[in-house]
Amino acid sequence: MLLDAAEDVIVIPGSKATASLRRQLTELGESARTGALHVGGRPGGVLYLVAGRIAYAETPACPGLGERLVASGRVAAAAWRTVLAEGRGAHRVGRLLMRDGLIGQNELASRVVATIADATHELLQSIEAPVRFVPGERHWLGPVRGVDLGSLGHVTARRLRIGRGGGPFRPGHAPRPPTMTHSGCD
């Protein structure tokens, strides 16, 4: 989100087709709602909010947390499946990853922020984006301390202005982000 200094209003960048998504996301944030904002169309996805803040976001257009952890070799596929099976229903996958020593708090928080930024970027450039809010719906990851999205709007705005290759952005043509590797930020 961006703060427009001239008008002191929050502006979420995106395509014209995402105006409804941006409007509802702003309203949910301002009213501190908790639940899931389901976004239809292509690529589609879900933004999970806790007290009006984005806690997780997912879309088939980019890898989720599990894909990133396994693909980078940070967490073995079998360990990921075990933690997901045990924690999914109780919304505590994040806690279990840390409890089992698979990932540290700081790395988990930074990977969640990267996942949210990539998914939100894809959703805000959708060709069409019908939305539906489900109050109280939570993500299986659970709460993750240290997830700070203060600059998410600025990152998204920059991506939308220049595109990923430095050239002009074209909706629906952004490449999938590269697989993250362990950066030793535990």
Q: Model confidence over 92-141: pLDDT tens digits? A: 999 999 999 999 999 999 999 999 989 988 888 877 778 899 999 999 99
pTM: 0.73
CB–CB of 20/129 below 8 Å?
Answer: yes
What's the start-to-end Cα distance of the chain, in Å?
A: 28
CA 124, 128, 134, 135 torsion: positive or negative?
positive
Q: What is the pLDDT of residue 155?
A: 54
Q: Enter the DSSP assignment of 127.
A: S
Domain map (residue ranges) of the chain: 2-161
Measuring CA to CA, which residue among 70, 26, 83, 74 is closest to residue 49?
26
Beta strand spans in the chain (E): 2-4, 9-11, 35-39, 45-50, 53-58, 131-135
Q: Distance between CA 123 and CA 117 in Å, rounded?
A: 10
Residue 19 DSSP symbol? H
pLDDT band at 149 (very low <50, low <70, confident <90, very high): low
Structure confidence at residue 18 (pLDDT): 66
Predicted local confidence at residue 145, as pLDDT: 77
pLDDT of residue 53: 87
Is the pLDDT reported for residue 178 higher than 60? no
Query: Which pLDDT band holds residue 176 (cuts at 50, 70, 90)?
Result: very low
Confidence band, pLDDT 50/70/90 cuts, at residue 182: very low
Residue 158 has pLDDT above 90, yes or no: no
Q: What's the pLDDT score for residue 75?
A: 97
Question: Model confidence over 31-88: pLDDT tens digits?
Answer: 989 999 999 888 899 999 998 888 999 999 999 999 999 999 999 999 999 999 999 9
Token look-up 């427009």 returns: 4
| pLDDT of res. 15 | 58
